[in-house]
Amino acid sequence: MSVIVAQPLTRESFAPFGDVIDVETSNHYPINNGKCERYHDLARPEVTGPNARVLISIARGTPYEFPLKLTMVERHPLGSQAFIPMSPNPFVVVVCPDGPDGPGTPQAFLTSPGQGVNYRRNAWHGVLTPVGENQDFVLVDRGGDGSNLEEFHFSHPYEIRLPKGFKP
């Protein structure tokens, strides 16, 4: 089984797959008479297809045991999908480049407190993977007609590990 160790999530490393959603940006300004700071335009939701609309939901994820056996990834051909944590707990983000016969070799990232992600339309990614305890997420994705889910099952699983010394 191939082993993949989760790396820190950064804008640069995640850029081929989507957007990192956090407050580490220069695009912010005060609103509400200076009582609130707006971190502006952090992700680009994408929706296409018949009757397409952006949905906002809450997803409650159950933590996974590590090392994680990765056997499947998915993608959404008609819209992006964002997960914004409602707590500072970390979660693991798994993505794969698009290859000629499906997804390429997976990459794994471990979020820092306050980081979320927006998977681009058609980006191969793993399922929501909280670490340590149940976690709620704001979920922004596509509603509308048509199938917006494609799954790919690997012929051989990958093993996703947390960084050495990491404790949830």
Q: How far, in Å, are 46, 66, 127, 132 from residue 63 at the CA level?
A: 28, 9, 11, 6
Q: Are strands 150-161 and 2-5 parallel, antiparallel or unpaired?
A: parallel
Which fold does the domain 2-161 belong to in CATH? Jelly Rolls (2.60.120)
Q: What is the pTM of this model?
A: 0.92
**pLDDT (average), residues 22-43:** 93
Question: What residues does each domain of the chain span?
Answer: 2-161
Quote the pLDDT of residue 6.
97
Q: Say whether pLDDT at 23 is over 90.
A: yes
Q: Which pLDDT tens digit goes with each residue over 68-106?
A: 999 999 999 999 999 999 999 999 999 999 999 999 999
Report DSSP state, residue 16.
Answer: T
Which residues is 103 bridged to in the sheet? 98
Q: How far, in Å, are 13, 90, 100, 132, 167 from residue 164 at the CA level?
A: 20, 15, 33, 16, 9
Q: Which of 63, 62, 152 is nearest to 106 (CA)?
A: 152
Instruction: With cut-offs at 50, 70 and 90, classify the pLDDT of residue 168.
Output: confident
Quote the pLDDT of residue 1.
85
CB atoms within 10 A of CB 152: 15
Which residues is 102 bridged to in the sheet? 99
Q: Give the whole-angstrom CA distance, residue 140 versus residue 146.
A: 17
Q: Which pLDDT tens digit goes with each residue over 117-162?
A: 999 999 999 999 999 999 999 999 999 999 999 999 999 999 999 9
Q: How far, in Å, are 31, 90, 121 from residue 79 at the CA level?
A: 30, 25, 5
Q: Which of 57, 48, 56 is nearest to 121 (CA)?
A: 48
